[in-house]
């Protein structure tokens, strides 16, 4: 088990859990893919329950960003560690009630994940993708803040 944030446990049972590359276990990366899956569900739930149209629209946009990031990360991860099985990815549930709580948690957990990515060349693409996602998180933190004026 890996914990990226207090009270959020990352769990997965799959065939990739014992595969390593340059000493890095694939489970760390798969756990984050599962966290992203859970965030997609939470983002859609917040979208449907948004208090105004601006938040509703921004959450839909951010969902697309999460989905694209997850897809890119998963495909690169499979290039490093091997193919995922059909039941490997299962979303991790979260309990955020507002867009700002959600984006703050996404940022905190993504930064924690980013710090754990090895500095070796094999993982440079994962780091780069994560940096681009952090950029989007920062942008949407600002855009969400505009929804409350």
Cβ–Cβ under 8 Å, residues 90 and 37: yes
Is residue 6 one of the residues assigned to a domain? no
**So what's the pLDDT on residue 14?**
35
Cβ–Cβ under 8 Å, residues 22 and 122: yes
Strands (E), 1-126: 2-5, 8-10, 20-21, 24-25
Domain range holding 123?
24-146
Is residue 136 one of the residues assigned to a domain? yes
Burial class (CB in 10 A: 0-12, 13-18, 19+), 58: buried
**So what's the pLDDT on residue 25?**
77
pTM: 0.84
Number of domains in the chain: 1
Is residue 50 one of the residues assigned to a domain? yes
Cβ–Cβ under 8 Å, residues 34 and 9: no
Is residue 8 one of the residues assigned to a domain? no
Nearest 5°: the CA angle 135, 54, 113 is 30
- Compute mean pLDDT per 10 residues along the chain, 149 residues long, and list them: 42 43 75 97 96 96 98 94 92 93 97 95 95 98 89
Give me the CATH number covering residue 70: 1.20.1260
Buried b (16+ CB within 10 A) or exposed e, 84-93: beeebbeebe
Strand (E) or helix (H) holding 46 = helix 26-48
DSSP state of 117: S
Is residue 18 one of the residues assigned to a domain? no
Report helix, strand or coil for 4. Answer: strand
Is residue 7 one of the residues assigned to a domain? no
């Amino acid at each position: 088990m890996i914990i990226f944030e207090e009270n959020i446990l990352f769990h997965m049972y799959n065939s990739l859990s014992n595969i390593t590359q340059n000493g890095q276990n694939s489970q760390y990366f798969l756990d984050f893919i599962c966290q992203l899956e859970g965030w997609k569900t939470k983002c859609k739930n917040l979208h449907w329950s948004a208090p105004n149209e601006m938040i509703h629209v921004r959450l839909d946009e951010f969902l697309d960003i999460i989905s694209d990031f997850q897809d890119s990360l998963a495909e690169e991860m499979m290039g490093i560690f091997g193919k995922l099985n059909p039941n490997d990815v299962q979303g991790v549930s979260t309990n955020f009630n507002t867009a700002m709580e959600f984006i703050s948690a996404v940022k905190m957990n993504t930064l924690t994940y980013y710090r754990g990515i090895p500095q070796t060349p094999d993982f440079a693409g994962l780091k780069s993708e994560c940096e681009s996602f952090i950029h989007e998180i920062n942008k949407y933190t600002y855009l969400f803040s505009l929804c409350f004026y």
